[in-house]
Amino acid sequence: MLLRNIYNCLFHLVSAPPQINQDASPTPIYSFVGNRKSVDITCTFYGYPVPTVIMRNENGTEIAQGNSTASYTISGTTEDDFGTFNCTADSPDGKAEYLVELRKAGTHLYMYSEETDFSDSMSLERMKTKFKERIRLVYSLFMGALVIQLS
């Protein structure tokens, strides 16, 4: 009987409600329309017992489910993919929510990749000269390509 009471006491000490693991659940995530690289949207929660995680899109449709982690992969980003994804973790010890946002990297993007024929493209130096102050961000390697965002 004493051993059973000790076990019950230890069990209650190690239980914990769900909490988001922010390092494993980045937000916001940036992409662009026509991106050929896959974009992973992930929600990972701590907790004991292990929580069940459900991810829903902005329409409330369930798109992923898992134990402690829900992950959704978008291949070939389209305009409809951008928005906020709601992750809910549920366990006997509680419930937690977390929002992951997929944002557009910019409204005007010029992409240079290994496949770009630079003889037909404007060089970065010419772009700087032509657009001057309009260049806000230059992603040196964004999803495997050089991306320049104009304001």
Going along the chain from its start, the domains and CATH numbers come out as 14-104 (2.60.40.10), 108-150 (no CATH)
What mean pLDDT value characterizes the chain? 77
Mean pLDDT of 143-151: 50
Q: Please, what sign has the CA dihedral across residues 75, 119, 146, 150?
A: negative
Q: Which residue has the higher pLDDT, 116 or 85?
A: 85
- Check residue 1 and give its pLDDT: 53
Give the tens place of pLDDT for each residue, 28-57. Answer: 999 999 888 999 999 999 999 999 999 999
pLDDT band at 14 (very low <50, low <70, confident <90, very high): confident
pTM of the model: 0.63
Is the pLDDT assigned to residue 126 strictly greater than 90? no
